[in-house]
Homo-oligomer: A and B are copies of this chain.
Amino acid sequence: MAVATGRLKLETQGGGQILEITPDILKQVAASKIQRGTVTIFLTGTTAGVGVMEMEPGTVKDLQAAMERLGPRGAAYQHNAMNAGETNGHSHLQASLFGQSLVVPIEGGKPMLGTWQRIIVMDFDSRPRTREIVVQTMGE
């Protein structure tokens, strides 16, 4: 059994931007030489998240619209009201609802994703950011 911990850096624009990271995950899993086990994908911020979806322009727009409904940009947030200068209350809220941790099983040296499944980062912040995603493989 072995553990390999990699990192992935990503420049994001925020505002609900969705970026696919499947090729990066495939590369790091292959580099780890682990044949069977899990890959844990963990985003270290509090205004972005990781998830799984079919990556198609329409589904991207639909998910963006839904996250906007869950935490509308223009609404009143206590995070902004109680902290002078803060404008990303909606980003924190959307991120906590969306989640930062994803575990995918590995077999034959590859994540066992379905035909249409893609791994994505969704950035909810109100400004561009540099994101760090931990990609940790564990297994044999």
Which residues of B lie under 8 Å from residue A2 when comparing CB positions? 140
Which chain B residues border A40 with CB–CB below 8 Å?
38, 103-105
In the complex, what residues of B have CB within 8 A of residue A52's CB?
46, 96, 99-101
For A111, the closest partner residue in chain B by CB is B42
Contact pattern, A 75-100, Cβ under 8 Å of B = 1, otherwise 0: 00111111100100100110111011
CB within 8 Å of B: which A105-124 residues = 105, 107, 112-117
Question: Which one of A9-17, A24-32, A131-139 contacts B?
Answer: A131-139
Known: A61-B78, A101-B102. A42 touches B112 (CB 8 A): yes
Distance of A51 Cα from B92 Cα, bound (Å): 12
Question: By the criterion CB–CB under 8 Å, are B62 and A78 in contact?
Answer: yes
CA distance A93 to B78 in the complex (A): 24
Report the minimum CB–CB distance from A109 to chain B (whole Å).
13
A51 cross-chain contacts in B, Cβ below 8 A: 96, 99
Question: Would you call B36 and A5 a contact (CB within 8 A)?
Answer: yes
28 contacts between A and B (CB under 8 A): A1-B140, A38-B40, A40-B103, A40-B105, A42-B103, A42-B105, A42-B112, A43-B114, A45-B116, A46-B52, A51-B99, A52-B99, A56-B82, A56-B83, A57-B78, A58-B83, A58-B89, A59-B96, A60-B78, A62-B71, A62-B78, A62-B79, A62-B93, A66-B93, A100-B117, A101-B104, A114-B132, A138-B138
